[in-house]
Amino acid sequence: MTSTSSTAPHAAAPEANVQGVASGSSFYAAMRILPREQREAMFYIYSFCRQVDDIADSDGPRPERLKALDQWRRDIDALYAGKPPQHLRDYVPSVKQFGLRREDFIAIIDGMEMDVPADIRAPDARTLDLYCDRVASAVGRLSVRVFGFGEEDGILLAHHLGRALQLTNILRDIDEDAGIGRLYLPREALNAAGIMSNDPLVVASDPRLPRACEGILKQARDHFAKSNDIMARNSRRVVRAPKIMSEYYHAILEKLVERGFALPRKPVKLSKAAKIFILIRYAFI
């Protein structure tokens, strides 16, 4: 998505930062059911992600966006060196309490930066997986520490659920991304379908696009299945929030399958009733 948000760091409390942009979303609903200290930690993580994402997606000059992201790297380094800048001072208790790792924050910045020097267009599969790891699974690696997962299952869940969510986003946002000059479908999938162009608008209108989406759809379903297996062997206390996120996005993926990927493609989203049902089922029952 494009954004004209300021690249300056926010100084407001985390919930104030998040509520305006996330209220009603699957992530906000999942965060709201957590105990206070976990909820606040997730708000900080979400606020950080939104701020660096806004920089990457802004329409400002690319050199300025690169400079702003590099400033965030320096700020994260200062946070972990015990000299946090003013806008990160409130992060300190959550970082210490939940053992949040510097390298995961840096990976998220690195992932956002992948879109900045030039818009991503038909990356090879390896580059796409790296992108998914940085912009989604790295967020998961921070989050599972807050949720209370053990190290091994936490890392595995972050790997699989992060990729499941990001691949779902890619399939959902083909037309929106094409409108801003981006194309995240991998080159190998496009070529296998007979599509040799990497022009986002050309690819989005190609009748062979549904075939190119098949492999990504299968990967997303496999990652959802593996993340469900991991959550099934962990306590309800630690899986409630990620389960809600997973079910929201899995439902979106299946609605995409029902709609299909041929033109015309209507936008897909969950109804408010469907969101409430998932929230009640996995948060309270």
In order, the DSSP letters of 30-65 are HHHTS-HHHHHHHHHHHHHHHHHHHHHHB-S-HHHH
Does residue 54 carry a pLDDT above 50?
yes
Query: Distance between CA atoms of 256 and 250, rounded to whole angstroms?
Result: 10
Does residue 90 carry a pLDDT above 90?
yes
| Element (DSSP H or E) covering residue 85 | none
φ, ψ of residue 188 to 5 degrees: the values are: -60, -40
- What pTM was computed for the model? 0.91
CA-closest candidate to residue 128, choices 206, 200, 187: 187
Q: Which stretch of 99-108, 161-170, 196-205, 265-274 has the lowest confidence by average pLDDT?
A: 265-274
Question: What pLDDT is stored for residue 202 in this prediction?
Answer: 98
Q: pLDDT tens-digit profile of 101-134? A: 999 999 999 999 999 999 999 999 999 999 999 9
Considering only residues 277 and 142, tell me which one the structure prediction assigns the higher pLDDT: 142
Say which residues have a Cβ less than 8 Å from residue 13's Cβ, sequence separation at least 6.
90
Q: pLDDT tens-digit profile of 22-53? A: 554 557 778 888 999 999 999 999 999 999 99
Q: Where in the chain is the domain with CATH 1.10.600.10?
A: 119-285
Class at the top of the CATH hierarchy for domain 119-285? mainly alpha
Say which residues have a Cβ less than 8 Å from residue 178's Cβ, sequence separation at least 6.
200, 201, 203, 204
Question: What pLDDT is stored for residue 26 in this prediction?
Answer: 59
Q: pLDDT tens-digit profile of 203-241? A: 999 999 999 999 999 999 999 999 999 999 999 999 999
Query: Distance between CA atoms of 45 and 125, rounded to whole angstroms?
Result: 27
**Cα–Cα distance list, 168 to 5, 164, 165, 253 (Å):** 25, 6, 5, 6
Does residue 5 carry a pLDDT above 60?
no
Does residue 179 carry a pLDDT above 90?
yes
Question: What pLDDT is stored for residue 27 in this prediction?
Answer: 74
The answer to whether 266 and 44 are in contact (CB under 8 A) is: no
Question: What pLDDT is stored for residue 116 in this prediction?
Answer: 97
